[in-house]
């Protein structure tokens, strides 16, 4: 199964984003078939990691930062 793995700190801050081997293989096949032309650079993965949204149940909307007011 092709996957992206998001890793978070205990405070729910996004730390890093990793891909599965299946993701890498499927992407490579798509590149070879000329279905995908984008280049996945470290900046691309950093951008994905930084666009994680969190659900704020109080305001009933998605927000770009942790919704919890306490970190326990």
pTM higher than the cut 0.85:
no
Q: How many domains does the chain have?
A: 1
Contact 48, 23 (CB under 8 A): no
Q: Is residue 24 part of a domain?
A: yes
Q: Is residue 48 part of a domain?
A: yes
pLDDT tens for 1-35 read 889 999 988 888 888 999 999 999 999 999 999 99
Residue 66 bridge partners (DSSP): none
Q: Is the pLDDT of residue 69 over 90?
A: no
Q: Is residue 19 part of a domain?
A: yes
Q: Is residue 71 part of a domain?
A: no
pLDDT tens for 36-59 read 998 899 999 999 888 888 888 888
Q: Is residue 68 part of a domain?
A: no
70: three-class secondary structure by DSSP = coil
| Domain range enclosing 55 | 4-63
Residue 3 CB-half CA count within 13 A: 6
User: CA-to-CA distance for 7 and 13, rounded, in angstroms?
Assistant: 9
């Amino acid at each position: 199964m092709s996957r992206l793995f998001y890793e978070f700190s205990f405070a729910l801050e996004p730390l890093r984003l990793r891909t599965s081997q299946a993701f890498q293989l499927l992407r490579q096949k798509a590149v070879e078939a000329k279905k995908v032309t984008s280049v996945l650079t470290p900046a691309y993965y950093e951008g994905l990691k930084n666009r994680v949204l969190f659900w704020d149940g109080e305001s009933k909307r998605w927000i770009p930062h942790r919704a919890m007011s306490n970190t326990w």
